[in-house]
Amino acid sequence: MKKIQVRDLRLGMYIHEICGSWMEHPFWKSTFKLDSREDLATLQSSGIKEVWIDTARGLDVAPTTAAISKEVARTQVEAVLNEASEAPPAEARRSFQEEVEQARRIHARAKQAVTSMFQEVRMGRALQVEEAVDLVEDIHQSISRNSGALLSLARLKNKDNYTYLHSVAVCALMIALGKQLGIEGDALRHLGMAGLLHDVGKMLIPDAILNKPGRLTEAEFDTIKSHPQLGFEVLEGTQRLNDAVLEVCLHHHERTDGQGYPGKHSGNDLSLYARMGAVCDVYDAITSERCYKKGWEPAMAIRKMAEWQEGHFDLRIFHAFVKTVGIYPVGSLVKLKSGRLGVVVDQNGKSLITPIVKVFFSEQANAHIPPELVDLSDAQDAIVGPEDPQKWGFNLSA
């Protein structure tokens, strides 16, 4: 496996992974033999900067061409995450278990409210934001009590309800990230509303394109990329919305290197809220099941984003985001040095690499063991790394 610049790609190479969110390119899969000049041209014009190639299944790069190995890439990612590993200051809050039932009720109500609100837009009616104001407040209060409860529930979505629940998840993530960045009061609520409404333009995209399970044509991908502008036009005529809501809607697919869409804005041309929206939107998208792709596990998604953060995200905001969700977010399956497997159920106030884990499986015995809560900040054990639940046959969503 070698990571190379897209400009160094040539026909006959085997692409193992495209470095970046799959919302940035029209390929419905990232693993394929590059045997089409059209595909090569599409990749080189997409804004994607790097790809992983598998030299055992295709051509290698020339000896003089720069390439990065898996080991070097892993070291670079761990260095980025270590910078953010110090936990944010502890504050009084509910435990995950105390908050999760209330968060479950808020999540169910949010799903119903957003579905109804977005369907009104789909039918050409004016957006009604009154219920959304109350919903954002409920989400804000839950995040303040314990952010992990609602954020973990917000990941539980499927390809059929993705668009609606993605909006709920980004709302919660924006509020949590805003708190991490020291944003308070009404500004936090504006952030939540921005997250809730950032994808409203997708209601004006034909379902056949929005939920297409195969590769998009160039014209179809251009249609998808029109949703920020379409959403902005819907929101522009809606009363009681702060400018931040319109900024996030229009610019959440922009990148700091100017390779995003729809306006190819970069760096300081993007507002703080828009740069926050870009990080939150990508994280929830790549951890969600789509009609054409399985989502990455949370801890893996954080590592993928760290690998290609430069050029995609504002680095200060990305580091704050890591502090917000954790290096091992709630819901991550991890393996410990003891050979036990467990699910991260909460963060603690000492370090992001020592969360609270519920262990339930022994790798050595290949069998379930009595569940046990382990606070890794006060234990001899430690995390070796994230694990893929599918590899073990675990249904963590259930």
Residue 290 within a domain:
yes
Query: CA–CA distance from 379 to each of 60, 163, 338 (Å)?
Result: 45, 41, 11
Per-residue pLDDT, 171: 96
| Domain end marker among 292, 325, 358 | 325
Closest to 284 (Cα-Cα) out of 181, 199, 388, 370: 199
Judge if 225 and 301 occupy the same domain: yes
Question: For residue 221, what is the domain's CATH number?
Answer: 1.10.3210.10
Judge if 130 and 189 occupy the same domain: yes
pTM, 2 dp: 0.90
Judge if 21 and 124 occupy the same domain: no
Q: How many domains does the chain have?
A: 3
Judge contact between 305 and 255, C-beta under 8 A.
no
Judge if 249 and 367 occupy the same domain: no
Find the domain containing 231 and state its range.
Answer: 96-325
State how far the Cα of 341 lies from the Cα of 345, in Å rounded to an integer: 13
Judge if 387 and 287 occupy the same domain: no
Judge if 217 and 355 occupy the same domain: no
Judge if 365 and 239 occupy the same domain: no
DSSP assignment of 39-66 equals HHHHHHHSS--EEEE-TTTSPPPPTTS-
Per-residue pLDDT, 45: 84
| Domain end marker among 305, 325, 345 | 325
List the structure tokens of 211. Answer: 């939920």
The model's pLDDT over 204-260, given as tens digits with 9 standing for 90+, comes to: 999 899 888 888 888 999 999 999 999 999 999 888 899 999 999 999 999 999 989
Residue 75 within a domain:
no
Judge if 305 and 346 occupy the same domain: no
Residue 353 within a domain:
yes
pLDDT tens across the length of the chain (398 residues): 999 999 999 999 999 999 988 777 777 777 899 999 999 998 888 888 899 999 999 999 998 999 999 999 999 998 888 887 776 666 667 878 888 899 999 999 999 999 999 999 999 888 888 888 999 999 999 999 988 889 888 888 877 788 889 999 999 999 999 999 999 999 999 999 999 999 999 999 998 998 888 888 889 999 999 999 999 999 998 888 999 999 999 999 999 999 899 999 988 899 999 999 999 999 999 998 877 678 889 999 999 999 998 889 999 999 999 999 999 998 899 999 999 999 998 888 778 899 999 999 999 999 999 999 999 998 999 999 999 998 999 987 76
Judge contact between 159 and 212, C-beta under 8 A.
no
State how far the Cα of 29 lies from the Cα of 327, in Å rounded to an integer: 26
| Domain end marker among 269, 299, 325 | 325
